[in-house]
Amino acid sequence: MTLLPSGCGAMFRVMNHQAPPQQPERLQPPRSVVVLAAAPARLLDLTGPIEVLAQAGRIRAIEADKDGDVSGLPPLYDIAVHIVPARDMPSTSAGLFVGSTVSEEELRSRAGLDTLIVVGGDGARHRAGEPAVRDLVRHLAPRSRRVVGVCTGSFILAAAGLLDGKRVVTHWRWCAELARRHPAVRVDPEPIYIRDGNVWTSAGVTAGMDLALALVEEDHGHALALALARDMVLFLRRPGGQKQFSATLAAQTRTSSNRFGDLLAWMSENLHRPLPVEDLAARAHLSPRQFARAFRDEVGVTPALMLERLRVEAARRRLEDGGAGIAAVVATSGFGTEETMRRAFLRQVGTPPGDYRERFRREAARDATSIVAEEGFVP
């Protein structure tokens, strides 16, 4: 079976590396995107970002024409796929065959690209240093306005020398290995995606779709990115600084058993309550002293520190949404007072909650009028 990206338009359009002057949206040509993978690629690393970019034009047209006529506008992205094959290996780790839509020779002849996306998988980790993979990336990257590594695609970018001195992320499972192989790369294991200059990298699997939404937002505005996220039933633009793991999932991952798994979930659902250690111990059917010792041995932190992390995480989500006031966030997160929340944020995040919320407000305000400013496409 051959999977081809839907809605990709003409596959071989060549764009000048220098962006032309702003034109009405209807007249702007699609942005040229090449998605590159080393077989076997992880299927969702490959198809997830493609689907986000391919559907962006469709959603743009639907938003412009409420009757649902999507035929009047060109796609926003001109997507080509190239899989560097491996002998006796399927093109994807799922065993499905995904065919290249452009040859290596055609890629090398292109004068310029808007975006080069290098995706992850076993092939990316094990074949990153192969000349057929590394040299092609070295050829294409300088001809691209921006370079993207999805999941372990960062291994290929690092092998090509594109990440030295850059702050990057990859799948949490392979962060230590990336740092070991490439000491000049600044690996940050926590965010779901990172932008450093014109280089973007994402954490594992579905984080590549978050990154692709961020690319759409940068190119075409906040409103379109949110409309696209709603259509694809994704979180509405999770911020890139959000951690790969929630506090609950990180704690569960550290445990050698699931002894406190149900308790951690219950704590997350009841943060508006005081949750003294005596109540937590009672739910675990232990004395407070036994509970405190067992919890620290199992989870790696004290119950009090775990509770603070959960409250800060919940407060961050509310602040990022931007609709609730500080007092409401304090109440729903269970901090009791604004000063208690402020101190917890300084310990866990390094910035007070008001400044944290203002940062996200500035980001939203920067792009909130993007679609309005570009409404040359409206019929």
Residues serving a catalytic function are 151
- Report the 3 state secondary structure along the chain: CCCCCCCCCCCCCCCCCCCCCCCCHHHCCCEEEEEEEECCECHHHHHHHHHHHHHHHHHHHHHHCCCCCCCCCCCCEEEEEEEECCCCCCCECCCCCCCCCCCHHHHHCCCCEEEEEECCCHHHHHHCCCHHHHHHHHHHHHHEEEEEECCCHHHHHHHCCCCCCCEECCCHHHHHHHHHHCCCCEECCCECEEEECCEEEECCCCHHHHHHHHHHHHHHCHHHHHHHHHHCCCCCCCCCCCECCCHHHHHHHHCCCCCCHHHHHHHHHCCCCCCCHHHHHHHCCCCHHHHHHHHHHHHCCCHHHHHHHHHHHHHHHHHHHCCCCHHHHHHHHCCCCHHHHHHHHHHHCCCCHHHHHHHHHHHHHHHCCHHHHCHHHCC
- Round to whole Å and give the CA distance between 160 and 176: 19
Q: How far is CA 252 from CA 192, 246, 247, 248, 348, in A?
A: 19, 10, 9, 6, 19
Residue showing tokens 């391919």: 54
Longest dimension (CA), the chain: 71
- Round to whole Å and give the CA distance between 347 and 309: 10
